[in-house]
Amino acid sequence: MPTKAAAAPAALPTWGLCRKPAGADEPDKFPNVPGGDIFGFTSPTDVGSPGDCGLAFEYSGREGKADGRYWAGTLKTQFSATIAENVAVALSPFVSHHRIRNVTGLDDLERTRFDGISGEVSWRFLERSAANRVAATFSMEPRWARVDGTSGAGVTAYAVEFKLFVDTVLVPDRLYAALNLNYAPATQKADNDPAAGWVRSSSTNVSGALAYQINDRWFVGAEARYLAAFEGSALDRNVGEALFFGPTMMVKLSENAAFNVVWTPQIWGRAAGVDRRLDLDNFERHQFRAKLSLGF
């Protein structure tokens, strides 16, 4: 979502929206959480000020299975705009790449493909104030996908992710915390099998992060993420779960540009019916992200 430090014009789709009303960037009168991706994968509640527009390039990578060589990455290009007080929208196309060799249960593959599109609406329903240091945002992101995230095979898939973001100031101008709760039902069918039916699944993502502000430009922190995968769209049967933990960093390149990186290795996991310390059937050994956000 667009922020003062991490937004850029979505030139054609949102050109008419990228005009800030007078006084839109007045200084805060109470401690606030800085805009931008200071928490890593975990999202802040900031949706920007009316008239903010953004362009972000977000590369998410996943590496490592139980054997062989496995690499999967997705580039999400997000066009976003704050269309009203506390309301932002975004539109994002995806491109995915898979490189798979000698992984049990997966076909060898090296391919880059267009991977669909998503739209997102975010509403900050609880604003921070002098009396209330906690803010909360609800977001919904429906997506159409063309690639299976694990195998890289061609599919037709539909999903919608429901997200709750909460953040707060622990120490003004120094330490911040955030919590995310996500739920995503999905359905997909294989493109190469005309007889294949639709397969329903769902997932949850609970994450928490701390960010420490070194100075006006640099933020460092740590993030923990608990991911779970299920058969059925209503969390019917758990097939795996994993805990990821790692460092985060964000630097403001300028008033209108920011760069964020996060790396979270899997430190614990459990796949249904598998006696192994990590869940490498449904998840990977490492998940990471690099994101460049631009704006005005």
| Mean pLDDT in consecutive groups of 10 residues from the start of the chain, 296 residues | 46 53 61 92 97 98 98 99 98 99 97 99 96 96 98 98 98 97 98 91 99 98 99 98 99 96 98 94 98 93
69-72 contacts at long range (C-beta below 8 A, 24 or more positions apart): 69/99, 69/100, 69/101, 69/102, 69/103, 70/99, 70/100, 70/101, 70/103, 70/106, 70/284, 71/97, 71/98, 71/99, 71/100, 72/96, 72/97, 72/98, 72/99, 72/149, 72/150, 72/152, 72/284
Output the pLDDT for position 23.
55
Output the pLDDT for position 225.
99
Output the pLDDT for position 30.
76
What is the CATH code for 15-295? Answer: 2.40.160.40
Q: Domain extents for the chain?
A: 15-295
Output the pLDDT for position 196.
86
Output the pLDDT for position 115.
99
Output the pLDDT for position 120.
99
Give the span between the Cα atoms of 128 and 135, in whole angstroms: 5
